[in-house]
Amino acid sequence: MKQLIEQLRGSEVGDIYPNEPLAPHTTWKIGGPCDVLVVPKGKRELAETIRIAAERNVPWTTIGRGSNLLVSDKGISGIVIKLGKAFDYVRFEDTLVIAGGAYSFIKLSLMTGREGLAGMEFAGGIPGSVGGAVYMNAGAHGSDVSRILKSAEVVLEDGQLAVWNAEDFRFGYRHSALQGTRAVVTEAVFALAHGNRLEIAGAIAAYKERRLRTQPFTEPCAGSVFRNPEGTFAAKLIEEAGMKGTRVGGAEISELHANFIVNTGNATAEDVLALMKLIQQTVEQKFGIRLVPEVLEVGER
């Protein structure tokens, strides 16, 4: 690992943090350290980081703003790549919106609304980055990324830069082709439409107010834990199973929204996993439905 770190530094790929604790980099505030965290200073440096990892047969993982992510208590082996300032930008070309992979998805919704562009109102309360939103096909209120994405620039596992059109992502419910491959979204292009600024701002404000009222975003959490089964809602099943407020260690099912698990202050990844398993077992026993996790589990077990 020392030689890897020296090579990364010699290649001047960006900021390098050996043995970096990952809990501060996640919205759940959970997770052990990684061998080395790299914050690339540009696309070329990102590609070089991935190329070096491949050359040395070292595993690499990407994290954005750390939402929708459960990092193991033992941390993550190899390189963890976090997109930083170099990928935190947005620009407008008529109805096209070009945003860097690290740009806040919530902020992007607000910015497009100010420009009088309609189509991203649903994103007004979705935490995370643009890259993460594309990866997960993030959505809410009857819409999702697949409905507005035109194309995205990605760095592939061999370090090559490519542009994928929307159809290349093979979007499904909270799914994209990125989940079956190794790639990093560096930039996304969204196709929106001209609209009424006041109406757009009103819709965004209403969605945001509803989320703040019904979801525990003032506490460390990772968003929805389970995908909604067809024809119903995970939160409804968990609540009807009488599980609101159930705790394992420092992890607790939110009293505000049953599909959220909050870190009450000292939760471990193992606490969260044990509580998720208990939820799955209880809901399946009562309703015959097996809940599928939406959060991504990464790291050593």
**Structurally, what CATH architecture does the domain formed by 217-298 represent?**
Alpha-Beta Complex (3.90)
pLDDT of residue 126: 83
Q: Which residues are catalytic?
A: 174, 224, 294
Q: What are phi and psi of 58, to 5 degrees?
A: -105, 130
**Structurally, what CATH architecture does the domain formed by 2-82 represent?**
2-Layer Sandwich (3.30)
C-alpha–C-alpha distance, residues 237 and 207, integer Å = 23
Residue 205 has pLDDT above 90, yes or no: no
Q: What are phi and psi of 61, to 5 degrees?
A: -135, 145
pLDDT of residue 33: 98
State the virtual CA torsion across 106, 108, 114, 120 in degrees, nearest 10: -80
pLDDT per residue over 234-277, tens digit each? 999 999 999 999 999 999 999 999 999 999 999 999 999 999 99
Q: What are phi and psi of 216, to 5 degrees?
A: -85, 55
Go through the chain and tell me how many residues it has. 301
User: CATH: 3.40.640.10, 3.40.1170.60, 3.50.30.60, 3.30.465.10. Which one for 88-213?
Assistant: 3.30.465.10
Q: What integer best gives the mean pLDDT of the chain?
A: 95
| Nearest alpha carbon to residue 102 among 37, 40, 27 | 40
pLDDT per residue over 57-98, tens digit each? 999 999 988 888 999 999 999 999 999 999 999 999 999 999
What are residue 189's DSSP bridge partners? 98, 151
Computed from CA positions of residues 92, 98, 102, 105, in that sequence, does the dihedral angle turn out positive or negative?
positive
pLDDT of residue 217: 82
Average pLDDT of the segment spanning 168-176 = 93
pLDDT of residue 1: 87
Residue 214 has pLDDT above 90, yes or no: no
* Domain extents in the chain: 2-82, 88-213, 217-298
pLDDT per residue over 13-42, tens digit each? 999 999 999 999 999 999 999 999 999 999
